[in-house]
Chains A and B, each alone.
Chain A
Amino acid sequence: AIRMTQSPSSFSASTGDRVTITCRASQGITSFLGWYQQKPGKAPKLLIYGTSTLQSGVPSRFSGSGSGTDFTLTISSLQSEDFATYYCQQYYSYPLTFGGGTKVEIK
């Protein structure tokens, strides 16, 4: 199975900060990567698919980049509603796998 490793696992940031979350795949997955946001007690929400395509309705402050094994999710200016846990997911091959998650907390 392809292992997805996210870093950091958690960090604190302030509203307005530019934040970057990294996801590394244990083998190349071309651009078959998605990002999800999850708030406590809620279902995950799709943010980005195909590495960089924003899901409809997702604010443009979210962006994704990368290819092969290294990917990033960037939030250009952190808003209060962005404090959550973020997961990357590969769908290059089965079993589909998620990263361990990155919790973004308020500083």
Chain B
Amino acid sequence: EVQLVESGGGLVQPGGSLRLSCAASGFTFSSYWMTWVRQAPGKGLEWVADIKQDGSETYYVDSVKGRFTISRDDAKNSLYLQMDSLRAEDSAVYYCAKEDLVWGSYRKFDYWGQGTLVTVSS
């Protein structure tokens, strides 16, 4: 059974840092792209970042470029999101998701974690 468990969320002051983790199990973690998606309270979904299997490619939404860093440790079956220079507008539930590429082209986020809440406030 595929499981994704996020951790590391919490309350942080503006300008502060936080590192989110996502522990994966039930699939060959090293074989898949992984992604972070966030959802501000009462708002819609926003894709944040993703990372290729070997970590050689990473992509970010413009609003977090230069502040957030996605990484992975395949030996630990873990995905990370280092968040620096946090702003109030970064407050959200952060989900990690397994990203599958079907026929080499069709991306699908087929398994999601339960999310971890990040609140940026003084």
Contacts and interface: CB of A to CB of B under 8 A. Distances in A.
Interface residues of B, number: 23
B122 interface: no
B44 interface: yes
Interface residues of A, number: 25
B47 A36 contact: no
Q: In terms of DSSP, what is the predominant structure of the interface of chain A?
A: loop
A56 to B, nearest CB: 9
Contact of B110 (A38, A46, A87): A46
A98 B46 contact: yes
A44 B112 CA distance: 7
Interface in B55-98: 59-62, 95
A87 B44 contact: yes
Given A55-B108, A87-B45, A101-B45, A50 B102 contact: yes
A36 B106 contact: no
B109 A44 contact: yes
A55 B35 CA distance: 18
Contacts of B59: 94-96
Interface string B105-116: 111111011110
Interface string B37-59: 10000001111001000000001
Candidate in A89, A94, A96, A100 with the most chain B CB atoms within 10 angstroms: A96
5 contacts: A36-B45, A46-B109, A87-B44, A94-B59, A101-B44
A-B pairs, 5 with minimum CB distance? A43-B112, A49-B108, A91-B107, A50-B106, A96-B47
